[in-house]
Structure 1
């Protein structure tokens, strides 16, 4: 019997109001201009309007302010302590200098959701109506204001109806898709109960060709081979441990151009099986013959799960890692090879790895990628922000913007792990090492070859960049942090229900849930 896919852990259940919004703290909030203390930031804003004529809506419209301008404004006021009149009557935004992005103090004023003002209408003007003999007489200005209000409300009602209709259509499409998945997945062509697809070995080869086709292009192999951290680490692990490989039978799983097979043959392996399902394997045959290693290396085209080797092997070498280590699910094939093709006591290269998170504070990139949608040629597209952050980014972060010590969230022993390794939950603590605006968490991995001559490498922002770069989980809103803080949270990683090679990642932090996809 096939389980109905659990959409609660997949990308279909993203609600904009539920994720990517930072919560303000429950502490009391002191007025910007007097000693008055409010129970919430919203009450403090109202107090400033009524007591000091300090109106954020007016300033927002006057200077076309965004959330970063608001942060600068608060820090400007905290630094120079101008009067409310001086700020409200200023002919220019005196706080636009970038230095005011650096917080003066950790203040709830900086946590206010400035975007929520959303150009809210100013307080309605007070009007008086004359009532005589049951008839109400309005002034012309009052009548015009009522007309404008009716027009606005009518427009909002029509927009709501449109959104509701779109939502109904989306739900209908989702229901139809789910019915198809259940109907097709519940039985096979013989009417028998079908197997749940929860790892690569259970995916029909014809449905998996798209993955292998991505490796049929020259560019991706150029990127991998020119990645010196990656390629030289494998070279050193193999050639600096020749005694380990001497006279051994080796399987190069996902051989690509055959570089690891040639390293293994050069190290003294007796026999090397270079296996790949991609069309690039035909070029590997020519490359291996060109280097006179064809008597040692046997090239096999095929997906391992659908291929039978002539014998079991002593060593499996494979460069299987994807973005955030587990994306693409090729570790499934390594596990299958370990369980079906490796002799007892055989060796896996690499044999161990881990995944880490580190806090990142790249405000410039956050503005470029996310705040961009606040004003697109004069139009607001804030609804796009949630879609942008929903997709985890792959980019070179660099160490200059990291704000914390890293934290390992997953250790993997490839000798013993199972195919459910892509599903894990881990808590993390990130000790903050410098003040800044937390814009994202960054994921990376480390690889280990535990051999007589040990070799390891990292894909973190503190080391030379690799073709894997880093995986960036952006937040919709920034969070101010200070040196000495410790950021705690939970990361939940799952294989996507509808794509065994893709990942869904959930990060719970600052009292909010943030969901991402890698697909």
Structure 2
């Protein structure tokens, strides 16, 4: 039924047999003994009614209004009272509130009395008594309200809360069904991947197809996204990002150094993950922060926020940014760590732009708000040997077909600064405040000025992130090989053949970077160097 507990009342004397309406102990399976005296009652409802009428001990008032208990809180308090207040007078709601640190522990989830009907009373949402009992209870409530026209309508409030609890129970049942379906999908995915690993059968197109239940409902992009979001459900990837001190401290610093922009503002964290940026924003003074994440990590984020006592100022929503309904119509600030390899891999920026256009007020701000992509010439003997020349002679055999495959894929590596052969060249700049998704694909000419003579075997790509305001411009962080390494590393595009260069030479080229039509979260990059074009993928 509803949440239940106990409030202030006069002292109960165990010899006061007339205080309660005694019933035959063998009358019913739902018999309950008084928490304070041990006297028997026919049902929890009869007992709680007697407590209120004869002793002013209003279980409804305490549970629903004074302490706002959920089911688990109710169970803990009942067991606490049975253990600590037997043969004693009932405590007031103020006393119970002051003792919260004692009864809130999970030890009090264990029943003091086995099969205690008082514990089932709330759990069963009224099913302890039949429909006739419930009708009588409702009639009694209505009668009480009618007989007390000048009262404070607390019983009316209880009726409303009772109906709300019924509705919540139904919603909880529906959610349980959805969670079961999601669990089944995860099990199917695990089984599918185990088959791939054990049998080596990689001929099945796109593993996320294992999540399909009704092919008439979902588009193929949604299957791709299932795999994408699935990778962010495990703690390992979040540990890697959080332990990237360049990344995390940069966001912390830019938020804390701009506290005046966050105070009393509504903030949206797109792709919130563990909620670290949301918590930074809350600590900076945000009025409320809404964090959105589609992956299962959202559930852990909810726990993390609560563990840090920020659940009154941070709300985590699980779902796609494009599908979630925010409790507010507008936000003042959007924060997001949306960058992928070579900046645009994973296409998460598209979701940030969607949120910007839907919720950000005209005078709102984005953190970060500017970024750039740069290219640089590099050479590393070990990388060339292990990725390119290795396939020319594998224990005396040629494997040129695999060499071609390696050359068609960008390699993500943390380069040694000594491998840098040229000055960098910016090939693309993005103003997150006004760019459109269609403009994220780009083409550009570039020129790389060689800074030392030697062999030139690859071009590396990296990005820089900025927070620009009218009064200042700050470089948040850089993923250049000449800076402190980050988990993004650099994207390395190996040339088919290395070339000798001299200091002062200028290498001219062109780049064409766009989303893969078959998989919009991956990238296709065309690089032309000295009139020779090579095609690469980042996927």
Q: Secondary structure at the match of 1:457?
A: strand
- 2:406 maps to which of 377, 388, 410: 388
Within-5 A mapping of 1:173-212: 205=222, 207-212=224-229
User: Gapped runs of 5+ residues in structure 1?
Assistant: 1-176, 178-187, 195-201
Q: Is the 8 A contact 1:237 1:455 kept in 2?
A: no
1:265-321 per-residue CA deviation (whole Å, 9 max, x = no partner) reads 000000100110110111111111111101000110111101111221000000000
Which structure exhibits the higher relative contact order, with contacts defined as CA atoms closer than 8 Å and separated by 6 or more residues?
A: 1
The answer on 1:473 being equivalent to 2:532 is: no
- 1:436 maps to which of 451, 454, 468: 454
Query: Which residue pairs with 1:31 in the alignment?
Result: none
RMSD across aligned positions (CA): 2.0
Query: Which residue pairs with 1:371 in the alignment?
Result: 389
The answer on 1:486 being equivalent to 2:502 is: no
The answer on 1:445 being equivalent to 2:463 is: yes
| Rounded Cα–Cα distance in structure 2 between residues aligned with 1:189 and 1:227 | 42
Query: Which residue pairs with 1:463 in the alignment?
Result: 483
Shift of 1:432: 0.3
Shift of 1:189: 6.7
Query: Which residue pairs with 1:405 in the alignment?
Result: 423
Aligned length: 324
Q: Secondary structure at the match of 1:306?
A: coil
Within-5 A mapping of 1:77-476: 205=222, 207-311=224-328, 312-451=330-469, 454-476=474-496
Q: Secondary structure at the match of 1:501?
A: coil
| Rounded Cα–Cα distance in structure 1 between residues aligned with 2:317 and 2:220 | 20
Shift of 1:205: 4.2
Q: Secondary structure at the match of 1:467?
A: coil
| Rounded Cα–Cα distance in structure 2 between residues aligned with 1:267 and 1:203 | 41
Query: Which residue pairs with 1:15 in the alignment?
Result: none
Structure 1 range deviating more: 413-422 or 463-472: 413-422
Q: Could you say if the C-alpha distance between residues 445 and 203 of structure 1 is closer, same or farther in structure 2, counting changes exceeding 3 Å? A: farther
| Rounded Cα–Cα distance in structure 2 between residues aligned with 1:455 and 1:474 | 29
1:104-126 per-residue CA deviation (whole Å, 9 max, x = no partner) reads xxxxxxxxxxxxxxxxxxxxxxx
| Rounded Cα–Cα distance in structure 2 between residues aligned with 1:477 and 1:508 | 13
Q: Is the 8 A contact 1:233 1:455 kept in 2?
A: no
Larger Rg: 2
Query: Which residue pairs with 2:34 in the alignment?
Result: none
| Rounded Cα–Cα distance in structure 2 between residues aligned with 1:480 and 1:330 | 39
Structure 2 length-normalised TM: 0.58
The answer on 1:515 being equivalent to 2:535 is: yes
User: Gapped runs of 5+ residues in structure 2?
Assistant: 1-204, 206-214
Shift of 1:476: 2.1
Query: Which residue pairs with 1:504 in the alignment?
Result: 524
Q: Is the 8 A contact 2:460 2:493 kept in 1?
A: yes
| Rounded Cα–Cα distance in structure 1 between residues aligned with 2:223 and 2:297 | 18
| Rounded Cα–Cα distance in structure 1 between residues aligned with 2:401 and 2:287 | 60
| Rounded Cα–Cα distance in structure 1 between residues aligned with 2:250 and 2:487 | 14
| Rounded Cα–Cα distance in structure 2 between residues aligned with 1:323 and 1:229 | 15
Within-5 A mapping of 1:6-25: none
| Rounded Cα–Cα distance in structure 1 between residues aligned with 2:311 and 2:439 | 36
Question: Which of structure 1's runs of 4+ aligned residues deviate more than 2 A?
Answer: 202-207, 451-455
1:208-263 per-residue CA deviation (whole Å, 9 max, x = no partner) reads 21111010111110110000110000000101111000000000100000000000
Q: Is the 8 A contact 1:385 1:476 kept in 2?
A: no
